Amino acid sequence: MEFSVLTIFPDMFHGLWNYGMVGRAIERKLISASAIDIRDFTGDKHRTTDDRPYGGGCGMVMKPEPLARAIDSARQKSPASAVLLLTPQGRPFNQEMARSFAGEDGFIMVCGRYEGVDERICYDLVDHEVSIGDYILTGGELAAMIVIEAVTRLVPGVLGGEDSAALDSFTGELLEHAHFTRPPDFEGQPVPDVLLSGNHREIEKWRFESSMVRTFLKRPDLLENRDLSQQEVDLLKEWCSRIESIVQAQSARGTDSSSGGE
Ligand code: ADE
């Protein structure tokens, strides 16, 4: 996997290339990554990359010529790479997209600044437009870093235990179960007993329920949009019947608001 990032701030990528999981993946040659200065492809002494928008209005637009030359040059070095433009108008980035990107040969990532890039860059030169969320950043650099980080960890061999990526939240469209480490008691809050029991069957069952509870409470939309397994349906039915009996017990005591209790 090869990432070539086109940016006017190549130094911003120093941290990403040199630390943590991405740094190690580069060191182990599982991926290669470079940040290329778009200013190196300008033709004037001021190395200008932006200009005023036609039609007036505030802000500046990234000029097409330096960008097109930078993309061309990156393409010659990495002909199998797709060109990806980071823009708030792009397709929302998610885990499924990260997984599909991880199977590609590489990406030439174009980081816009100012109001955006001249539209003509998008006509033929860009394969994917990607947004990291419905908010506006001042440039695509942080967005590119997020995409690189999410994709790199899915490249085979990058993570120690291959299945730690497979278990991640969203991969199976359920959130991951809760995690605990030592100490067994932190400020009066104990780790659930079952996790200390050594009983792997019970631990798996607890993790499954934890995963379902968290998804139900934090992201019910993920459950609504999922083909539930029989085990998941059974658990939801069990919760339903428990909730029903709590509500029935409550109304039998005359304490629920619908029965006119206080
Ligand atoms: N550039 C500016 N805002 C962005 C966003 N939300 N996603 C991707 N690139 C961007």
226-248 pLDDT, tens per residue? 999 999 999 999 999 999 999 99
How far does the centroid of ligand 1 lie from the alpha carbon of residue 197, in Å? Answer: 46
How far apart CA 193 and CA 100 sit, in angstroms, is 39
Average pLDDT on 194-219 reads 97
Active site residues: 88, 115, 153, 168
Q: Is the pLDDT of residue 28 over 60?
A: yes
**Burial of 189 from C-beta contacts in 10 A (0-12 / 13-18 / 19+):** exposed
Q: Which two structure tokens, joined as six digits, stand for 234?
A: 């059974």
Q: What is the pLDDT of residue 222?
A: 92
61-62 and 50-51 as β-strands: parallel, antiparallel, unpaired? Answer: antiparallel
Q: Which two structure tokens, joined as six digits, stand for 213?
A: 């509870």
Ligand 1 atom 10: residue of nearest CA: 87
To test the pocket of ligand 1, the residue of 9, 12, 85, 86 to mutate (highest count of ligand atoms within 8 Å of its CB) is 86
**Torsion angle defined by CA atoms of residues 217, 218, 224 and 225, in that order, rounded to the nearest 10 degrees:** -160
How far apart CA 53 and CA 49 sit, in angstroms, is 13
Contact 122, 96 (CB under 8 A): no
Q: Give 113's DSSP letter.
A: B
Q: Higher confidence at residue 257 or residue 182?
A: 182
Q: What is the pLDDT of residue 167?
A: 66
Contact 128, 85 (CB under 8 A): yes
Q: CA 59, 123, 99: angle at the middle one, nearest 5?
A: 95
Ligand 1 atom 9: residue of nearest CA: 87
Pocket of ligand 1 (CB under 6 A): 86-88, 131-133, 135-137, 140, 143
Q: What is the pLDDT of residue 33?
A: 98
Contact 128, 91 (CB under 8 A): yes
